[in-house]
Amino acid sequence: MLRIALIAHDRMKEQMVQFSIAYEPILEKHKLYATGTTGTKIMENTNLEVKRFLSGPFGGDQEIGALIAKNKMDLVLFFRDPLTSQPHEPDILALLRLADVHNIPVATNMATAEILIRSIDQGDLAWRDSI
């Protein structure tokens, strides 16, 4: 079982909901985390159980970053909005930087997220279990 963070900016939340519905059979096998509003939307639209942190602009990205730093997160699926500036951009960059520091796979759009989620279902990320 992997620990997966699900995060979506406002304009990408509908995509995240569709993604969660489509991949619910895979996602339900793992421990899911999300920023506040993203987690609420996923739980409203699926039967998935998601541990929610604060909303992104209020520190949720930082909370997920802290789990990465402590080696308690295995995968980040972050549907970023590339066309809208975010007041908490430093927090977003900090989260992505920590993922690179700790060599955690990150998808920043749905196309990559689909590849990663299919690949973890084939056991491609099993090496994380031994870390």
Of 10, 61, 91, 121, the active-site residue reads 61
13 carries a ligand binding annotation: yes
Active site residue 121: no
Does residue 36 touch ligand 13P according to CB under 6 A? yes
Residue 94 tokens read as 């900090």
30 carries a ligand binding annotation: no
Residues in contact with ligand 13P, total (CB under 6 A)? Answer: 12
56 carries a ligand binding annotation: yes
Residues 80-109 that bind ligand 13P (CB under 6 A): 92
Pick from 15, 55, 108, 109: which binds ligand 13P (CB under 6 A)? 55
Does residue 62 touch ligand 13P according to CB under 6 A? no
Max Cα-Cα span within the chain: 38
- Binding site residues for substrate, as ranges? 9, 13, 35-38, 55-56, 88
